[in-house]
Amino acid sequence: MGEIKTNVPEFDKIAREVFAPIYPVIAEQIQLKTGITGGKCLELGCGGGYLGIALARITDLYIHLLDKSPEMLEIAAGNISAARLTTRMQTILADVQEIPLPDQSIDLIISRGSIFFWEDRQKAFEEIYRVLAPGGVTYIGGGFGTAELKKKITARMEKENKNWRAMLNKNIGENAPETFIKILQQTKIPFFEINRDEAGLWIQIRRQEK
């Protein structure tokens, strides 16, 4: 999550090994807090697709995994196949600033960690809202599922990256919500909510039912 800059195999190794415990936890939180268990889901900046796969296992959602890295999507496709979810998941090579999906076509939009890489966050949020269906919700941000998991992962990641704690504070610390509020207020999105706790920060955007 955040500004880790590494090659694809190294990035995936961290996601697959260090962060592995968080995906089922966050998937359950998404299900509980959004109430959406069917329809179409889009995961932005999916990487190896670990969060989307965890969510697919506990819902009936059809899930699109979007990433701008072909190498990441190759890994994601392999993970989808290994999980035997090829009939319910597909990959999309694209940038969050230009999502190649129809207006109001996605019921649930999720993303963990990629928001900190987005070059034009305002444009990205406007695209997200464009494809969000009536009654649709987002669960976008960064987090670890629980404070305990955050503590364990931070202890491990600090050994690899001396700037890890400062990066976390910038991305999901006390002042982070204000940064996103300013960006979202510049869009035409009528309703959004930012929830931050010890374990992370999540943005929920809703499109009202027609």
pLDDT tens digits, 74-117: 999 999 999 999 999 999 999 999 999 999 999 999 999 999 99
Q: What is the pLDDT averaged over residues 145-149?
A: 98
Q: What is the pLDDT averaged over residues 115-138?
A: 97
**Average pLDDT, rounded, for the chain:** 95
* DSSP alpha helix (H) spans, the chain: 8-13, 22-34, 50-58, 70-82, 121-131, 147-160, 164-172, 176-185
Is residue 93 within 8 Å of 67, Cβ to Cβ?
Answer: yes
Q: Domains along the chain?
A: 8-107+116-205 (3.40.50.150)
Residue 95 is given by DSSP the state: B
Assess whether pLDDT exceeds 60 at residue 198: yes
CA 49 – CA 64 distance, rounded (Å)? 10
Distances from the Cα of 164 to the Cα of 2, 5, 160, 168, angstroms: 9, 12, 8, 6
Q: What is the pLDDT of residue 6?
A: 52
User: 6-10, 77-81, 111-115, 182-186 — which is least confidently predicted?
Assistant: 6-10
What SS3 state is found at 108? strand
Q: Tell me: the pLDDT tens digits for 11-56? A: 899 999 999 999 999 999 999 999 999 999 999 999 999 999 999 9
pTM of the model: 0.95
Q: What is the pLDDT of residue 1?
A: 42
Q: Residue 201: is it exposed, middle or buried by C-beta count within 10 angstroms (0-12/13-18/19+)?
A: buried
